Amino acid sequence: MGEVRVIEVHEDVFAQNNHAAADVRQMLADNGTFFINVMSAPGSGKTTLLTALISRLKDKVSIAEMDVDIESSLDAQRVADATGVRSLQIHNGGLCHIDADMTKRALAEFDLNGVDLLILENIGNLVCPAEFDTGAHKNVMLLSVPEGDDKPLKYPLMFTVSDIVLITKTDTMGFFNFDLDKAKERILKLNPNAVILPVSAKTGEGMEELESLILEAVQKNQ
């Protein structure tokens, strides 16, 4: 019979990333910059919603934005053109996520002096981004109505690590079989502390409440 060796690993495999994330958080806290990491599946409306949110906030706080994509600078350009805020495009070399070290290197190229709010639009993916702490103070994720209310059952980690869950594209509710109460129940079962907010960038539903939520967090950080 062959010999089997058992090796016990007592260190978190994400330990190095977690240390880098803590460094990013502290650096931004010292700078007075509140950092949110926005995650979702592709097509959930991240860029559209962020453009609407930034337009509401930009006269009240100083904002900078970073976009992660495998290729192109389309989203970063869209945000910059629509809002006038500084936007940085990050190409992540074909990976399905961005980690804290990548964030740290991107920030080294970005002057954050006087920036109150830094927004990271993470790559569209419901798996990998949830596994890597970017150093953000808050994780925000979008679940769009067309995706269905069963996503918390299929991608539990994403909902577990998100502080704020935005149910987006609520203006399409009448066209899809989406049960808002079931979605909320499933999210809260995974994450009892999650703030759940239905929003529509198109109609403006929930946007004022979202604006107040982010503004309050930024002011507390200062």
Q: Write down the pLDDT at residue 173.
A: 96
Choice among 61-75, 176-190, 206-220 with the minimum mean pLDDT: 61-75
Query: What are the helix (H) ranges across 140-206?
Result: 151-154, 156-160, 180-190
SS3 77: helix
Q: What tokens does 61 get?
A: 């706080």
pLDDT of 11 > 90? The answer is no
Domain ranges across the chain: 15-221
Which of the two residues, 105 and 191, has the higher pLDDT score?
191
pLDDT tens digit sequence for 57-96: 999 999 999 988 655 566 668 887 888 888 888 877 777 7
Closest CA to 101 of 161, 167, 14: 14
Mean local confidence (pLDDT), 11-30: 87
Task: Specify the CATH number of the domain 15-221.
Answer: 3.40.50.300
